[in-house]
């Protein structure tokens, strides 16, 4: 890419924020006293962010509409006719169903790394979303076609395996980019003082604004997640082909919104060698300070320092000092992400083992795999309460709940959900007529599935604290040119949770299920405590860390410098 083209792309990507920057220059800068006395509030969310939220709603409608029937589709045999008491298709049993759904979760969180690299290094977020959306659509067509009654006996299993591979690639590519694109629409990086109509002076901060953006974003995810109510009802009354056709049709407006909203999005263009730059910085730091040096010594790879200590390295550096500060902040965040597999392990039980648990309980005329929609229902209810009442109230009294505190609370509620599920499983085993083997001949013990509701409430609370905050944390702490890559690293933690889930498949059966839930719950409680102890200091520096970045002019200069350096390297290689 030529330097002129790179500069043009940077200018185009920042045009939408020039007016906002002009107003930002006229805003009142807060004093130390303002930080101590003024109420902290979020800024208004740009219209373009709501377009991205709408895209995410459609995609999540499709995703959750698909996975809702997966467990029954694999576990139980096809009924003689519909409506059916227990819908099914393949009849492969609970362990196979849990293994395949766990693999799908695993695959869906490996592929964001591919999507992140493609976006940050080659295509940019918008074009990456369009590419992976097209791939997604192909997988949807395959699973819908192979779930038709005439195809079930011969094509159900191979069609399912092929389709989840393709769909996993598509959803992963979208997932890594859409959650960063929504936050990218808000460009202000520094707090300022605003005077409200009633004369009250308030402190508007990016931290509160990003918290609201990601709460709104996650709220749309769970609105879309309610689609599983429709698809699980359709699988019971019509068949799986209808249950998969609905999300397939819903994905069409998703692609349409992406295309129609193209000119409204603010997007940082790809930088080409961003991943290589990060690897070089880490390698140079290991060479200079040793492989186990602390992050505080990363200043040694700043070009300003390299020019004095290693001039040859400095001459080849395409990054600047700010990038090194951003990378240090990012690496600290990635250490926090390493705790997340235990949280996601708690969450993933909702999509497989708790569905199977409901199948051993009395559900009346409600399909067993519709009950887990209690979780998105409570998430939808709780997010506005937290965002509009609880968080503002805490900020008003001078106790803003910073990221590490919220994440630790999320782990605690995840552990609580697993502890409660273990207790319910014990109660199921104590209930006739099948006691410890309720899955015998598809039998159900005489206990209401309503007992599961508190577990889903606890999971909902854990998502609000840990999952939403994780998305926010991944975006805020990532270098500006690596937002999608860092988001994909955060999402990859779900993949590790799936691997742990694979290891637990041998105990995901009667009568060892209580021990499995107990073990996961204890691990989550321990992680909650250790995470807070190890990382609580990052809450104190949250505002200062988030302020690291570049102005509009600096973004333009940075992009031009890298493009010029790339052109010079290309010329040298051609001459050689």
Q: Are 296 and 441 in contact (CB under 8 A)?
A: no
Q: At 440, is the pLDDT very low, low, confident or very high (cuts 50, 70, 90)?
A: low
Structure tokens at 531: 């995470």
- In residues, how long is the chain? 576
Q: From edge to edge, which strands make up the β-sheet containing 39-41? A: 39-41, 201-204, 192-195
Question: pLDDT band at residue 439, thresholds of 50, 70 and 90?
Answer: low
Residues 179 and 484: beta-carbon distance below 8 Å:
no
**How many CB atoms within 10 Å of residue 331?**
16
Residue at token pair 């019971």: 236
For residue 563, what pLDDT is reported?
56
Q: Is 31 exposed, middle or buried (0-12, 13-18, 19+ CB in 10 A)?
A: exposed
**Hunting for tokens 């592929």 — which residue is that?**
111
- 315-364 pLDDT, tens digit each: 888 888 888 888 889 899 999 999 999 999 999 898 778 888 888 898 88
568 — pLDDT class (breaks 50, 70, 90): low
Determine contact, residues 367/237, Cβ cutoff 8 Å: no
Q: What stretches of 295-402 show up as alpha helix (H) in DSSP?
A: 303-309, 311-316, 321-337, 340-348, 353-358, 374-385, 391-396
pLDDT at 528: 97
Alpha-carbon separation of residue 460 from 60, 162, 395, 425 (angstroms): 17, 32, 23, 20
Closest Cα to residue 404, out of 332, 322, 352?
332
- Give the integer Cα–Cα distance in Å for 545 and 284: 23
Report in angstroms the alpha-carbon separations of 253 from 2, 53, 258: 36, 13, 9
Give pTM, 2 decimals. 0.84
Give residue-wise pLDDT tens across range 85-126. Answer: 888 888 888 788 888 888 898 899 889 999 988 988 888 889
pLDDT at 552 over 70: no
pLDDT of residue 467: 95
Distance CA 317, CA 311 (A): 10
Report pLDDT digits (tens) over 270-297.
776 777 888 888 888 888 888 877 788 8
Q: How far is CA 488 from the centre of its chain?
A: 8
C-alpha atoms less than 13 angstroms from C-alpha of 575 in its C-beta half-sphere? 6
Tokens standing for residue 547: 């302020």
Q: What is the mean pLDDT of residues 509-538?
A: 94
- Can you list the alpha helix ranges (DSSP code H) found in 38-151? 47-67, 70-75, 94-108, 111-117, 125-146
3-class state of residue 440 by DSSP: helix
* DSSP 8-state code for residue 89: B
3-state helix, strand, coil in the chain (%, to 5): 75, 5, 20
């Amino acid at each position: 890419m030529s330097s002129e083209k790179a500069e043009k792309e940077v200018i185009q990507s920042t045009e939408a924020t020039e007016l906002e920057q002009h107003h930002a220059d006229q805003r009142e800068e807060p004093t130390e006293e303002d930080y101590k006395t003024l109420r902290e509030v979020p800024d208004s969310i740009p219209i373009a962010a709501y377009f991205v939220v709408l895209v995410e709603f459609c995609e999540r409608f499709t995703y959750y509409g698909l996975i809702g029937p997966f467990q029954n589709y694999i576990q139980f045999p096809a009924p003689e006719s519909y409506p059916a008491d227990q819908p099914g298709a393949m009849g492969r049993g609970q362990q196979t169903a849990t293994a395949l759904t766990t693999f799908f979760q695993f695959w869906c969180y490996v592929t964001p790394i591919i999507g992140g690299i493609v976006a940050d290094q080659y295509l940019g977020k918008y074009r990456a979303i369009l590419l992976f959306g097209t791939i997604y659509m192909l997988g949807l067509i395959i699973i819908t076609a192979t779930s038709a009654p005439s195809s079930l006996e011969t094509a159900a299993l191979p069609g399912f395996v092929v389709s989840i591979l393709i769909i996993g690639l598509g959803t992963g590519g979208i997932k890594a980019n859409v959650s960063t694109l929504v936050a990218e629409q808000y460009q202000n990086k520094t707090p300022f003082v605003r005077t409200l109509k009633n004369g009250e002076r308030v402190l508007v901060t990016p931290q509160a604004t990003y918290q609201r953006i990601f709460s709104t974003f996650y709220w749309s995810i769970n609105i879309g997640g309610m689609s599983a109510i429709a698809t699980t009802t359709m699988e019971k009354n019509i068949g799986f082909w209808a249950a998969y056709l609905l999300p397939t049709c819903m994905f069409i407006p998703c692609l349409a919104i992406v295309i129609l909203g193209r000119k409204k999005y603010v997007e940082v263009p790809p930088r080409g060698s961003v991943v290589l730059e990060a690897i070089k910085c880490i390698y140079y730091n290991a060479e200079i300070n040793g492989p186990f040096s602390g992050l505080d010594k990363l200043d040694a790879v700043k070009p300003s320092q390299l020019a004095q200590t290693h001039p040859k390295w400095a001459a080849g550096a395409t990054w600047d000092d700010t990038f090194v500060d951003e990378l240090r902040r990012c690496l600290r965040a990635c250490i926090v992400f390493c705790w997340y597999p235990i949280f996601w392990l708690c969450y993933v039980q909702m999509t497989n083992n708790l569905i199977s648990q409901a199948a051993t309980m009395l559900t009346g005329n409600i399909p067993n795999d519709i009950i887990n929609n209690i979780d998105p229902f409570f998430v939808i209810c709780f997010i506005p309460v937290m965002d509009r009442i609880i968080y503002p109230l805490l900020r008003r009294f001078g106790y803003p709940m910073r990221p590490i505190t919220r994440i630790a609370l999320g782990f605690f509620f995840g552990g609580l959900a697993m502890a409660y599920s273990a207790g319910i499983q014990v109660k199921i085993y104590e209930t006739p007529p099948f006691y410890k083997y309720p899955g015998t001949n598809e039998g159900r013990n005489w206990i209401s599935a309503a007992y599961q509701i508190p577990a889903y409430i606890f999971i909902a609370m854990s998502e609000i604290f840990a999952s939403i905050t994780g998305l926010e944390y991944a975006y805020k702490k990532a270098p500006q040119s690596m937002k999608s890559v860092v988001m994909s690293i955060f999402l990859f933690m779900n993949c590790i949770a799936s691997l742990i889930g694979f290891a637990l498949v041998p105990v995901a059966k009667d009568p060892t299920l209580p021990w499995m839930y107990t073990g996961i719950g204890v691990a989550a409680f321990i992680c909650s405590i250790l995470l807070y102890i190890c990382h609580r200091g990052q809450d104190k520096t949250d505002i200062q860390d988030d302020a690291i970045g570049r102005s509009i002019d600096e973004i333009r200069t940075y992009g031009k410098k890298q493009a010029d350096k790339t052109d010079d390297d290309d010329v040298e290689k051609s001459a050689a």
